[in-house]
């Protein structure tokens, strides 16, 4: 077999077309094959590890035994192409397009405003499509579960859910889920909504779902499955050979011959090892064609499940068993079902197998603790024979290790029925409610003497607290033979504390939290069992009412939500789209996969791929770079270092140079040192790993802001601002309090990683740069300076960006310079697309900040003085950090008129990757410190926090602390309307009542305001230009300097052009942003893109309209087309540039005064949460948000921005953690370790209102910028959580202000609650071992 030198032929179908592959490489994934070989680029690369769902496709297989076709969603990035023999693949291109017909699943997400950047949309579409193929009328719960494996960073998910709830089977589904939130109201896919407010929609407004019109499963594949002589298949690649046997005997023979060869089924473990850890297996055995591994046998004593069964298939088997068996026999089955519903996302569950889960023996496996506790066993098979072994503590022998012999396989798993008097439960806690590996999980079983509450037998297994699944035997010994009561369990808790120990350096960290979870979960089990004993009439006792909340689930049913638009102006023309809800101009292209992103451009002849080599040391001298091995590898063309740069070797962002490639010294892990170019991406990646850099470590590494302050390591200048006499005010204050809050950073996690393609044109030193950037001109200048050529030889083109959030400005220009260098040197096109892990390592994040404050206030809550110091962890280069710390100080007053206010800020220079711009640009960190200070004042005075906020607000036309005048009228209106809409006063009483009655669940509610300055304080950045062409057929082409990254700037600009030229939207097109069309552009940032570029387009359109005026007067009854044709004949120019000078904004830091902003955007947000004090898990029960955005140009886009920013803020303040090792290495390099909000994190009720009757004379059509401001309002969830924690602390006898740092993760919230279980864990003794991760900032 393996000795033969040929590869077998692979046959499968894609979108109804036959595909045969004679040279399949085992390392080729379905995603790579679709994108490179078939040019089907609708499926996107988002993470490469099955964690984001952007690559979701539908796989269909025919089972000749049942004569049934199975459809299931998979992550194409993990699915090996060699696994596809006999399968039919359906991609987003295969279900519909704008050129042929749309599929309803595509149409509804587009009509519901469910796409912004659009990069995740094809994956969402295919997840939903697969569900509909299996169940044309799904329930809302099935829809939510289906979308659980798909991430979106733009929309906040609400419009996606709204679009797809229209498929629900229930006629009154919308009454259950939220009628006012149903979005699409029957207007054509790209036509504006006619009214000012979202209306419920009827399903008749959409294309009907007709299952008879779907692609059929190819009959040829059915015949192949029925008649094909089943033989072993072998596929050979460059480094690995893939063998796929069809019989159990052949599988065992292969395993005997190649005992070290792994068996692959779903590729969810092995694929990650090969891709991310560089593991190479010369031979891989694929067992997915061995039928015996999929057999399911039901017996009276239990069910035997084939080890090859997918987790989804196991779930179906268990559901059937639970329905058919008596309740007392289903304890283990039900517990397993509970875990299975929360393991990973649907795409992973569809391919990951039961046997793989057991054999991989991960320490936090969700299934192994339950299988072990539930007395399950496995059948192991080799050529030597068969053995059945129990899944118990002896089965798992270490990290990733079991008692399996090298030549053994797991054949099946036996799950016994539970016995009378037996109770089995499973629990898990994870960093995110769904689609996240568990922090700690547990499988617990107790068996009672018949008719008694005396324990006969017990099993307690935990995952996540050791190198493998842990059995708490000493704890069990404390319970067996004793009655099930509090005294027994008290002894068990003591034993458990001693038995399960974790040191500070334990992998994964969170030692105290994980240990406390073992106790909390045991307590929860104790209560469940009490209830079971009562229900089965064994015991009179029941769960004490005050403890009942421990076993109740957090709320999870989505309630009716509401979004209120503004009415369009009276008398406005029907054709005028301004102020109407126009869907995103690319929404349909997003949904069909036709939208082209940078890496979707076809490969050109001779194209090379670039891979960067990064530093592995935080602070070291480079002594030698050895590229010899890399250069000798297949496909490698060259390796480039800083020495090869012909022009400038530095880039300047704020006056201080940043090296393009490291010169002699590295100052962080992840700094780019050199770059490898090769003929393919895999070759480039392998070669870059082969480059050996020799270092000499340098002393004085600095990682935290405290270390930087101690060593005076700053990027200058530091900034300070003051009004009033702070020192004197402190002396006169009734109270003075000092506090601090630490805010961690945040990864941008744009769905499209950094991507660029540079093409040398071969003459006159010209270079074309196709790049995903917010600042095309910066890229143009960077490339020109790096190559030492004039800017007019470099043209930069941006079609669209798959999300950016500030992260595609500075580092993008450096990456583009390196890519251009390679193209320049090789004289060939070069493409660079970062892997997700590389992107997270290299590009930096939001600045972590330490905020320290001293506040003076009166007895009635009036703040008279505040002194605040901000220390931002800037990383190893200045980037834009000085600008960030300036904006931090400019916003430190938020909405509060504090008469004596002093702020100081410093950008700390450390040996971490350089942090950069991120949506909000320092403002969320600035306001978080101030709001935490206000919160502390409220706690000290025993008053509701909103009362203190309101008392200190600006009340009339005022001056900010930098002497800029403004009128807070609309701020106060937002605040009052939010209080009213959220029914705050009533709900605050409800929250107090709830907390009084509930011991283990607590609620909190918080109302937060914001005043956000719009525009660039550097006046020259507020300018914009545009170019508008009218063609002879009357169609209009608009070019402007803004880049489309999901914020809808192109759509709004089209609306502007439509109004000014008085032509329909359908006649206006925007192709791309290009420095050839519009030069000297400013970045699309600071929520100012539409303000500036809209005005420039307006200027150009008005020029053209004026030129056509004589023609219109001559022929007042003519059409637009006739006027344009006449103008051409009369030699009137039909092309015009437009320009907008922008506001004269400035800030004089010497005088501490200025006008750095054009105007302010105001908003207020009220959120209520429910917190599980035992685990720190929470749900946002309701959010009400009122925003003053002037007169919205496009309310659907603006509300999308509001919701998306809010969810990003919710992630920042409650979920997202960047973790670095003590040596400065980033641990969290993908969605597996770094958790952004998912569908399960959306507030159960999310109401958004646009303030009516607002005007803004400082921006186009009286609108306001909205992209950034509402991100900070995600902190309303943080402060609601803090209030819930305070209620729990009150029960524990604790009062007064307390530290809760950001993000308020379940770990922090749980420990802050200070329950009896966290108090049982001894405070970590002073350990010599280093902590697992750095404590930032």
The structure tokens 């002849």 sit at 605
pLDDT band at 538 (very low <50, low <70, confident <90, very high): confident
| H/E run at residue 874 | strand 863-875
Residue 5 class from Cβ within 10 Å (0-12 exposed, 13-18 middle, 19+ buried)?
exposed
Instruction: Say what the alpha-carbon torsion angle 521, 526, 528, 533 is, to the nearest 10 degrees.
Output: 160
* Predicted pLDDT at 629: 97
* Predicted pLDDT at 543: 82
Omega before 1223 cis (within 30°)?
no
* Predicted pLDDT at 230: 81
* Predicted pLDDT at 170: 67
CB 889 within 8 A of CB 926: yes
Alpha helices in 12-95 (DSSP H): 30-32, 92-95
* Mean pLDDT of the 317-339 span: 95
Alpha-carbon distance 912 to 593, whole Å?
37
CB 760 within 8 A of CB 827: yes
* Mean pLDDT of the 140-150 span: 95
SS (H, E, C) 201-269: CCHHHCCCCCHHHCCCCCHHHHHHHHHCCCCCEEEECCCCEEEECCCHHHHHHHHHHCCCCCEECCCCC
State CA 855 to chain mean position distance: 36
* Predicted pLDDT at 186: 31
Does residue 3 carry a pLDDT above 80?
A: no
* Predicted pLDDT at 204: 57
Which whole-number Å values give the CA distances from 526 to 423, 440, 819, 1292, in the listed order? Answer: 10, 18, 61, 21
* Predicted pLDDT at 82: 96
| H/E run at residue 14 | strand 10-14
How many residues make up the chain in this entry?
1337
Residue-by-residue DSSP string for 1281-1310: HHHHHHHHHHHTT--S----PBS--HHHHH
* Mean pLDDT of the 465-488 span: 95
Number of CB atoms found within 10 A of residue 1249's CB: 22
* Mean pLDDT of the 633-640 span: 98
Please state the φ and ψ torsions of residue 658, each to the nearest 5 degrees.
-120, 130
| H/E run at residue 515 | helix 511-535
pLDDT digits (tens, 9 = 90+) for 657-676: 899 999 999 999 999 999 99
Q: Which residue has the higher pLDDT, 36 or 202?
A: 36
The token pair at 500 is 């399960």
SS3 136: coil
* Predicted pLDDT at 1325: 52
Q: Among residues of the chain, what percentage have pLDDT more than 90?
A: 90
SS (H, E, C) 1019-1058: HHHHCEEEEEEECCCCCEEEEECCCCCCCCHHHHHHHHHH
Does residue 302 carry a pLDDT above 70?
A: yes
The token pair at 748 is 């941008």
Please state the φ and ψ torsions of residue 1270, each to the nearest 5 degrees.
-80, -5
Does residue 202 carry a pLDDT above 60?
A: no
pLDDT digits (tens, 9 = 90+) for 37-66: 999 999 999 999 999 999 999 999 999 989
Which whole-number Å values give the CA distances from 209 to 204, 213, 277, in the listed order? Answer: 11, 9, 44
Strands 1073-1074 vs 735-743: parallel, antiparallel or unpaired: unpaired
pLDDT band at 1161 (very low <50, low <70, confident <90, very high): very high
* Mean pLDDT of the 894-900 span: 98
CB 684 within 8 A of CB 829: no
Alpha-carbon distance 579 to 951, whole Å?
35
Does residue 959 carry a pLDDT above 60?
A: yes
Does residue 978 carry a pLDDT above 50?
A: yes
| Half-sphere exposure for 761 (CA within 13 Å, toward CB) | 10
* Mean pLDDT of the 849-878 span: 98
pLDDT band at 545 (very low <50, low <70, confident <90, very high): confident
Q: Among residues of the chain, what percentage have pLDDT more than 70?
A: 97
Average pLDDT value over all residues in the chain: 94
* Mean pLDDT of the 107-114 span: 96
Question: For the ranges 214-218, 744-748, 934-938, which has the lowest average pLDDT?
Answer: 214-218
Number of CB atoms found within 10 A of residue 623's CB: 10
Number of CB atoms found within 10 A of residue 264's CB: 25
Which whole-number Å values give the CA distances from 977 to 136, 952, 972, in the listed order? Answer: 41, 18, 8
Does residue 1166 carry a pLDDT above 60?
A: yes
| Half-sphere exposure for 119 (CA within 13 Å, toward CB) | 31
pLDDT digits (tens, 9 = 90+) for 790-833: 999 999 999 999 999 999 999 999 999 999 999 999 999 999 99
Does residue 104 carry a pLDDT above 90?
A: yes
Does residue 175 carry a pLDDT above 90?
A: no
Q: Which residue has the higher pLDDT, 191 or 888?
A: 888
Strands 385-390 vs 396-398: parallel, antiparallel or unpaired: unpaired
Number of CB atoms found within 10 A of residue 1020's CB: 11
Does residue 558 carry a pLDDT above 90?
A: no
Residues with active-site annotation: 1268
Does residue 1330 carry a pLDDT above 80?
A: yes
pLDDT digits (tens, 9 = 90+) for 823-846: 999 999 999 999 999 999 999 999
SS (H, E, C) 808-827: CCHHHHHHHHHHHHHHHHHC
pLDDT band at 686 (very low <50, low <70, confident <90, very high): very high
Angular region, 427: left φ>0, alpha ψ -120 to 50, beta rest: beta
Does residue 309 carry a pLDDT above 80?
A: yes
Beta carbons within 8 Å of 317's beta carbon, 6+ residues apart = 296, 303, 305, 309
* Predicted pLDDT at 161: 94
Q: Which of 1324, 1333, 1121 is nearest to 515 (CA)?
A: 1324
pLDDT digits (tens, 9 = 90+) for 436-466: 999 999 999 999 999 899 999 999 999 999 9
SS3 320: helix
* Mean pLDDT of the 263-281 span: 90
* Predicted pLDDT at 544: 82
The token pair at 1017 is 């304080």
* Mean pLDDT of the 570-592 span: 95
**End-to-end distance of the chain based on CA atoms, in angstroms?**
57
pLDDT digits (tens, 9 = 90+) for 1168-1225: 999 999 999 999 999 999 999 999 999 999 999 999 999 999 999 999 999 999 999 9
Does residue 973 carry a pLDDT above 70?
A: yes
pLDDT band at 227 (very low <50, low <70, confident <90, very high): confident
pLDDT band at 171 (very low <50, low <70, confident <90, very high): very low
pLDDT digits (tens, 9 = 90+) for 1266-1283: 999 999 999 999 999 999
The structure tokens 């071969």 sit at 762
């Amino acid at each position: 077999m393996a000795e033969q030198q040929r590869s077998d032929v692979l046959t499968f179908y894609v979108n109804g077309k036959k595909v045969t592959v004679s040279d399949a490489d085992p390392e080729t994934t379905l995603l790579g094959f679709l994108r490179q070989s078939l040019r089907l680029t609708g499926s996107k690369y988002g993470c490469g590890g099955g964690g984001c769902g952007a690559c979701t496709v539908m796989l269909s297989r025919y089972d000749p035994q049942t004569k049934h076709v199975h459809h299931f969603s998979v992550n194409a990035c993990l699915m090996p192409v060699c696994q596809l023999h006999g399968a039919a693949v359906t991609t987003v291109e295969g279900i519909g397009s704008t050129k042929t017909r749309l599929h309803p699943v595509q149409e509804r997400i587009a009509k519901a405003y469910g796409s912004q950047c659009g990069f995740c949309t094809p994956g969402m579409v295919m997840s939903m499509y697969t569900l509909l193929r299996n169940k044309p009328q799904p329930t809302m719960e099935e829809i939510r579960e289906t979308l659980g494996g798909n991430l979106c960073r733009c929309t906040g998910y609400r419009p996606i859910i709204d679009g797809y709830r229209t498929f629900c089977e229930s006629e009154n589904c919308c009454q259950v889920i939220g009628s006012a939130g149903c979005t699409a109201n029957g207007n054509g896919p790209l036509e504006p909504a006619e009214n000012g407010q979202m209306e419920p929609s009827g399903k008749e407004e959409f294309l009907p779902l007709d299952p008879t019109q779907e692609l059929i499963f190819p009959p040829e594949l059915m015949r192949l499955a029925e008649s094909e002589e089943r033989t072993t298949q072998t596929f050979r690649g460059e480094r690995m050979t893939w063998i796929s046997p069809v019989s159990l005997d052949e599988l065992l023979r292969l395993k005997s011959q190649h005992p070290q060869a792994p068996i692959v089924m779903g590729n969810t473990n092995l694929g990650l090892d090969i891709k991310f850890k560089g593991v190479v297996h010369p031979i891989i055995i694929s067992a997915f064609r061995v039928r015996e591994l999929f057999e399911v046998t039901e017996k009276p004593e239990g069910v035997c499940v084939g080890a090859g069964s997918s987790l989804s298939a196991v779930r179906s088997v268990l559901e059937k068993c639970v329905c058919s068996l008596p309740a007392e026999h289903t304890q283990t089955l039900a517990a397993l079902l509970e875990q299975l519903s929360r393991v990973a996302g649907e795409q992973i569950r569809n391919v990951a197998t039961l046997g793989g889960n057991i054999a991989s023996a991960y320490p936090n496996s969700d299934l192994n603790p339950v299988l072990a506790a539930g007395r399950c066993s496995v059948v192991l098979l080799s050529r030597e024979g068969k053995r059945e072994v129990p899944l118990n503590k002896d089965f798992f022998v270490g990290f990733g290790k079991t008692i399996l012999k090298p030549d053994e396989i797991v054949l099946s798993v036996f799950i016994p029925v539970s016995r009378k008097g037996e109770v089995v439960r499973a629990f898990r806690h994870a960093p995110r409610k769904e689609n996240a590996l568990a922090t700690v999980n547990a499988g617990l079983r107790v068996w009672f003497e018949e008719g008694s509450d005396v324990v006969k037998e017990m099993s307690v297994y935990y995952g996540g607290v050791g190198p493998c699944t842990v059995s708490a035997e000493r704890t069990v010994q404390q319970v067996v033979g004793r009655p099930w009561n509090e005294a027994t369990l008290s002894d068990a808790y003591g034993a458990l504390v001693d038995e399960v120990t974790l040191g500070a350096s334990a992998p994964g960290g969170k030692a105290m939290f994980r240990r406390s979870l073992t106790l909390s979960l045991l307590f929860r089990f104790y209560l469940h069992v009490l209830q079971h004993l009562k229900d089965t009439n064994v015991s009179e006792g029941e769960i004490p009412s005050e403890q009942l909340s421990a076993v109740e689930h957090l709320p999870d049913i989505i309630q009716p939500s509401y979004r209120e638009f503004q009415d369009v102006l009276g008398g406005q023309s029907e054709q005028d789209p301004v102020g109407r809800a126009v869907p995103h101009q690319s929404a349909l292209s997003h949904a069909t996969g036709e939208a082209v992103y940078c890496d979707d451009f076809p490969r050109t002849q001779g194209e090379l791929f670039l891979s960067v080599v990064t530093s592995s040391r935080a602070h070291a001298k480079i002594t030698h770079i050895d590229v010899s091995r890399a250069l000798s590898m297949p496909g490698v063309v060259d390796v480039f270092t800083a020495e090869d740069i012909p022009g400038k070797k530095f880039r300047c962002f704020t006056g201080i140079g940043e090296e393009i490639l490291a010169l002699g010294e590295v100052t962080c892990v992840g700094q780019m040192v050199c770059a490898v170019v090769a003929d393919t991406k895999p070759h480039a990646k392998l070669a870059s790993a082969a480059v050996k850099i020799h270092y000499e470590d340098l002393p004085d590494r600095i990682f935290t802001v405290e270390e930087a302050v101690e060593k005076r390591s700053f990027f200058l200048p530091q900034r300070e601002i003051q009004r009033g006499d702070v020192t004197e005010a402190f002396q006169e204050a009734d109270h003075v309090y000092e506090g601090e809050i630490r805010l961690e950073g945040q990864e941008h996690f744009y769905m499209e990683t950094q991507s660029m393609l540079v093409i040398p044109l071969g003459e006159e030193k010209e270079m074309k740069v196709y790049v995903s950037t917010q600042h095309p001109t910066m890229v143009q200048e960077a490339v020109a300076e790096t190559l030492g050529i004039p800017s007019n030889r470099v043209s930069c083109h941006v079609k669209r960006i798959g999300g950016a959030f500030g992260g595609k400005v500075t580092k993008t220009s450096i990456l583009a310079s390196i890519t251009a260098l390679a193209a320049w040197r090789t004289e060939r096109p070069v493409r660079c697309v970062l892997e997700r892990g590389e992107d997270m390592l290299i590009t930096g994040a939001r600045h972590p900040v330490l905020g320290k404050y001293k506040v003076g206030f009166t007895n009635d809550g009036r703040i008279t003085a505040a002194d605040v110091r901000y220390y931002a962890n800037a990383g190893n280069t200045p980037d834009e950090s000085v600008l960030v710390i300036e904006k931090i100080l400019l916003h430190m007053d938020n909405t509060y008129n504090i008469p004596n206010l002093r702020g100081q800020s410093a950008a700390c220079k450390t040996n971490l990757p350089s942090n950069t711009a991120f949506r909000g640009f320092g403002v969320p960190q600035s306001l978080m410190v101030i709001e935490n200070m206000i919160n502390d004042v409220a706690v000290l005075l025993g008053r509701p926090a909103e009362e203190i906020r309101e008392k200190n607000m600006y009340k009339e036309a005022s001056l900010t602390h930098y002497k800029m005048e403004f009128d807070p009228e609309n701020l106060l209106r937002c605040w009052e309307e939010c209080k009213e809409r959220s029914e705050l006063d009533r709900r605050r009483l409800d929250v107090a009542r709830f907390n009084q009655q509930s011991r283990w669940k607590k609620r909190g509610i918080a109302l937060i305001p914001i005043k956000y300055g719009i525009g660039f304080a550097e006046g020259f950045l507020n300018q914009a230009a545009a170019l508008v062409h009218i063609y002879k057929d009357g169609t209009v082409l608009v070019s402007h300097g803004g880049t489309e990254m999901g914020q809808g700037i192109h759509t709004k600009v089209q609306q502007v052009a439509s109004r000014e030229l008085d032509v329909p939207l359908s006649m206006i097109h925007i192709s791309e942003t290009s420095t050839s069309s519009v030069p000297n552009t400013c970045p699309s940032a600071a929520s100012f893109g539409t303000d500036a570029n809209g005005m420039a387009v307006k200027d150009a359109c008005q020029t053209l309209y004026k030129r056509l005026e004589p023609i219109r007067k001559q022929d007042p009854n003519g059409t637009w087309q006739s006027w344009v044709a006449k103008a051409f004949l009369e030699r009137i120019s039909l092309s015009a540039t437009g320009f907008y000078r922008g506001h004269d904004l400035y800030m004089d830091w010497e005088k501490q005064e200025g006008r750095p902003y054009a105007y302010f955007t105001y908003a207020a947000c009220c959120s209520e949460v429910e917190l599980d004090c035992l685990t720190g898990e929470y749900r946002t029960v309701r959010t009400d948000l009122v925003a003053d955005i002037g007169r919205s140009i496009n309310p659907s886009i603006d509300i999308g921005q509001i919701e998306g920013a809010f969810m990003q803020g919710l992630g920042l303040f409650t979920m997202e953690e960047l973790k670095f090792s003590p040596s400065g290495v980033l641990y969290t390099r993908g969605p597996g370790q770094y958790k952004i909000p998912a569908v399960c994190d959306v507030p159960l009720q999310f109401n958004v209102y646009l303030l009516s009757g607002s005007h803004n004379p400082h921006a186009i059509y009286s609108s306001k910028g909205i992209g950034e401001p509402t991100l900070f309002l995600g902190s309303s969830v943080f402060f609601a959580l803090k209030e819930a924690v305070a209620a729990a602390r009150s029960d524990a006898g604790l009062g007064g202000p307390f530290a809760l740092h950001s993000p308020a993760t379940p770990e922090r919230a749980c420990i802050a609650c200070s329950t009896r279980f966290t108090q049982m864990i001894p405070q970590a003794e002073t350990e010599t071992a280093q902590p697992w991760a750095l404590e930032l900032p």
